[in-house]
């Protein structure tokens, strides 16, 4: 991240913070460009609860100190982002099945007896975002482009939500092979440079998910690129891009031009945050308010 990168803000009318306000935070490095404070504070507001959310820059190697600080300062919940997701998975008292499978935690819950539980909400956030658009993954064949952390969360969630078949296409075939081990009975690796194999996987899939970073604004050379040859997209495909900055990626633009349903990555981002709030508070915030706030912040 460069120092000129934008930090996102939201102004909330009617916000009252006092000495008993519950605090939640995201830890990571970098976090100054994070959309999480915008999304979460709007979510808390929609619930009408006395919670506030901040971003804390925590350097690599300081995950244990951050958990200790969380306890001492009485923070009620943590979001975890790079580079701490793996370290936190080893440091909390227990982990959810998804966090265990991925060995990655993006959410820390403090239970009533003070123990720390690690969760991973990214994959379920994707499934919830698809569901909001009327798309069920159950029984579907799905092509995932990419095999990094986001792709791994998606593979794990798709398996739990009874997807029938997963193709994982990645630049590094080795990374794809490691990722498919998360769902060995339904997932197979495809090299993204093997055009015939990629075309066959696309033809046999109903849903295509981009979990590569191709299309991100932060990489200008790839921001205008599509992670898949566009002639592989049919009008009856459903295409979801995990990239959310920009919200309208080149892949989504081209998908629409093919007459197919295009779903942006902001929905997943907001749904995984809503699931975090549900873990911390037991309440589900207004996802639509959170989405609109994120969209406005990015504009």
- Rg (the chain; Cα; Å): 19
Q: Round to whole Å and give the CA distance between 16 and 30.
A: 28
Of residues 6, 45, 71, 85, which has the active-site annotation? 85
Smallest gap from Cβ 36 to ligand NAP, in A, equals: 11
Question: Which residues contact ligand NAP (rule: CB under 6 A)?
Answer: 122, 146-151, 170-172, 175, 211-214, 216, 222, 227, 242-244, 265, 268-269, 272
- Cis-peptide, bond into residue 83, ω within 30° of zero: yes
The DSSP string of 151-207 is: HHHHHHHHHHTT-SEEEEEESSHHHHHHHHTTSTTTEEEEETT-HHHHHHHHHT-SE
Smallest gap from Cβ 207 to ligand NAP, in A, equals: 15
Calculate the alpha carbon distances from 26 to 81, 182, 201, 260, 274 in Å.
7, 27, 37, 35, 14
* Structure tokens, 5: 């990168």
85 an active-site residue? yes
272 contacts: CB under 8 Å, gap ≥ 6: 106, 121, 122, 124, 125, 126
Smallest gap from Cβ 76 to ligand NAP, in A, equals: 22
Q: Residue 247: is it exposed, middle or buried by C-beta count within 10 angstroms (0-12/13-18/19+)?
A: middle
* Structure tokens, 127: 């499934």
Report the residue number, 110 or 238, with the smaller CB distance to ligand NAP. Answer: 238
Q: Round to whole Å and give the CA distance between 294 and 288.
A: 10
Report the residue number, 29 or 69, with the smaller CB distance to ligand NAP. Answer: 29
Report the residue number, 110 or 274, with the smaller CB distance to ligand NAP. Answer: 274
Q: Round to whole Å and give the CA distance between 65 and 87.
A: 12
Smallest gap from Cβ 193 to ligand NAP, in A, equals: 10
Q: Which residue is nearest to ligand NAP (CB)?
A: 148
Report the residue number, 46 or 121, with the smaller CB distance to ligand NAP. Answer: 121
Smallest gap from Cβ 83 to ligand NAP, in A, equals: 11
Report the residue number, 22 or 81, with the smaller CB distance to ligand NAP. Answer: 81
Catalytic residue annotation = 85
């Amino acid at each position: 991240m460069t120092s000129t990168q934008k930090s996102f803000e939201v102004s909330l009318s009617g916000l009252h913070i006092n000495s008993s306000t519950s605090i939640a935070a995201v830890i990571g490095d970098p976090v100054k460009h994070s959309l999480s404070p915008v999304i979460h504070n709007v979510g808390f507001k929609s619930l009408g609860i006395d919670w506030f959310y901040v971003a804390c820059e925590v350097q690599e190697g300081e995950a244990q100190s951050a958990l200790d600080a969380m306890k001492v300062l009485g923070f009620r919940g943590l979001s975890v982002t790079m580079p701490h997701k793996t370290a936190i998975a080893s440091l909390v008292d227990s982990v959810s099945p998804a966090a265990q499978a991925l060995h990655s935690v993006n959410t820390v819950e403090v239970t009533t007896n003070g123990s720390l539980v690690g969760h991973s909400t990214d994959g379920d956030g994707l499934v919830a975002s698809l569901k909001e658009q009327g798309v069920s993954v159950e029984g579907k064949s799905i092509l995932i482009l990419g095999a990094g952390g986001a792709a791994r969360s998606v593979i794990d969630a798709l398996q739990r939500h009874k997807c029938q078949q997963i193709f994982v296409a990645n630049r590094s075939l080795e990374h794809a092979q490691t990722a498919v081990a998360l769902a060995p009975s339904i997932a197979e690796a495809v090299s993204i440079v093997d055009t015939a194999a990629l075309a066959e996987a696309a033809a046999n899939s109903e849903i295509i998910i981009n979990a590569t970073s191709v299309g991100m604004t932060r990489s200008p050379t790839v921001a205008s690129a599509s992670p898949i040859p566009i002639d592989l997209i049919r009008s009856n495909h459903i295409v979801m891009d995990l990239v959310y900055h920009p919200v309208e990626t080149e892949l989504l633009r081209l998908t629409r031009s093919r007459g197919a349903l295009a779903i942006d990555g902001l929905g997943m981002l907001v749904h995984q945050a809503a699931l975090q709030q549900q873990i911390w508070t037991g309440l589900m915030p207004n996802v639509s308010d959170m989405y609109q706030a994120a969209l406005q912040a990015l504009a």
